[in-house]
Amino acid sequence: MSHTVVEEHGTGTLHVWPLSTDEETLLSLVTRIFERHWEHIWFGVIVQGAAWEVAAPNAPERISLYDGYVTVDFGRWHFHLCIGEHTAGGPELGAIRRCARAELYRSISADGSPVSWGLRMFNGRGDQLMTVLLPNPFLTDRQQLLDEPDFDRLSAWDELRADYLGLPPDPLDRTGKGFKHQ
């Protein structure tokens, strides 16, 4: 299985699979995650010192694209991500704002088993745009610990790996015993 192992200060080991950052792929990915999996994911920005883990209040009422920005609108609130060519601020600002790196990742515990699965997107300056925490076999949709792992909760991860990376389910994903903070 080809992936990049990344050591990050404070987060441990990540297995990372780069994704295409063309507008069509990113729009498809954002649309799929928020239309099909909205009630099972958490999303926001996770950086050293802050973790915004937001749950969608409902399915998106609208997902649209304008001037390189995808808008995911939940009715009462929405968010924007620059995933394509943004022209309003000029080419230099557009290059900074646009998603320059997208990746599927899994976080690996000290015992070598995965404990978390997700999607991360970064702008042209390397700032995190968003992390999506995919359904976790060790946690409920309310992020409460499960008594026993429910590996059926990896279906979104398996679907994204198959459709965007051409990879089958990985037996390693089903070796963990429980959730551990890194």
Whether the pTM exceeds 0.85: the reply is yes
Summarised one tens digit per residue, pLDDT across range 37-70 is 999 999 999 988 899 999 999 999 999 999 999 9
| CB neighbour burial string for 119-130, b if at least 16 within 10 angstroms, e if fewer | bbbbbbeeeebb
Catalogue the long-range contacts made by 52-60 (C-beta closer than 8 Å, 24 or more residues apart).
53/133, 53/143, 55/141, 59/34, 59/35, 60/34, 60/35
CATH architecture of 4-171: 3-Layer(aba) Sandwich (3.40)
In angstroms, the CA 17 to CA 67 distance is 27
Residue 36 has a pLDDT of: 97
